[in-house]
Structures are given as C-alpha cells and as structure tokens.
Amino acid sequence: MAVEREGAITFKNNPVTLIGEEVKVGDTAKDFTVLAQGLQPYSLNDGKGKVRLISVVPSIDTGVCEAQTRRFNEEAAKLDGVEVLTVSVDLPFAQARWCGAEGIENVKMLSDHRDLSFGEAFGVAIKQLRLLARAIFVLDADNKVTYVEYVSEATNHPDYDKAIAAAKEAAK
C-alpha cells in the first residue's frame, strides 16, 4: 500500500492527503508511466539523458495552472538542454485541445489520468480529489532529483525563478 501524508498541503485552505512518499533533493526519481498527447506511454526512462523540469498542475483548465504552463512554455524556449514536462490528470485530449488553443508548443504535456503512476511515484496524488498537487521537480540527466517544490497551498503559484535557476544549473 502506498504511503499517505495527511495535511502535507492544503487545497483551497483545506488540508488534503497526498499519496506517495515525499521526494527530496538527492533522491533517484522513481519510475512512472503516463500518457503523452498521442496516447503513447511516457516513462521516466523516455527522458533519461536529459535534464527535465517537471511542472505538476492540478488541472490545465484553471487560472493558476494555465499561467504556470504558459510561463514554463516561454522559459522552455530559452532553456538549452532542458526538457520541460507538464503533468496533470487531465485527459490527453483536453491537454491537446488547450495547447492548440493557447499556442503551447515548447512543453511536453503528460496525462496521469489512467493510473496516477506519476502522482504516487512523486508523492503528489491528492487522495480526496484524484488530482495532482502543484509541484516542481528538476531531474538531472541521470534521474537524480536536484530541485523540489511542493507548493503548500495548491491554488498558489510555485517559485518560477528558483525552478528555472535549478534547471539551468542542472543543465551545465
């Protein structure tokens, strides 16, 4: 059974339970399988050898999630050697529709809807809502975690500048 962490974050100021162990800097990332927009599986090893900034959002159809994805889409064009991923539980079709309507082309959208595999591996699956908590992870080319931010209130923005700086540092 997966580890549950009660009250680790809040969602609209209400404590929620996260499923999965907290990821820490220095950890080797756990494997996961999510779906890319063409419904093909994407796992941790599909990005091995690349630095990855993983932006986790509850749902692409909310204001903060939209802003977060737009910001990392803009930054992705300037981040040499860094692959930027956005993970949510939105269906791949909804992600593709939103990206097309918003002109989002620099981030890879991934859906954890099917299994919550990513959510459990990275400790961001919200038990009560079947959504993912807002978080940022940076992985180096060997899948070592170099940066972690679990946003304490899921409706708040992450620290974009720190995450971008961490991705640049990992890509050196």
Q: Residues with catalytic annotation?
A: 65
CA distances to 67, 132, 167 from 63, in Å:
6, 15, 24
Distance CA 41, CA 165 (A): 29
Non-local CB neighbours of 64 within 8 Å, separated by 6+ positions: 57, 134, 155, 156, 157
Dihedral angle sign, alpha carbons of residues 108, 112, 117, 119: positive
CA distances to 17, 23, 67, 97, 106 from 102, in Å:
32, 31, 11, 9, 12
Q: Are 133 and 19 in contact (CB under 8 A)?
A: no
Joined together, the tokens standing for residue 25 give 């800097």
Non-local CB neighbours of 116 within 8 Å, separated by 6+ positions: 19, 89, 125, 130
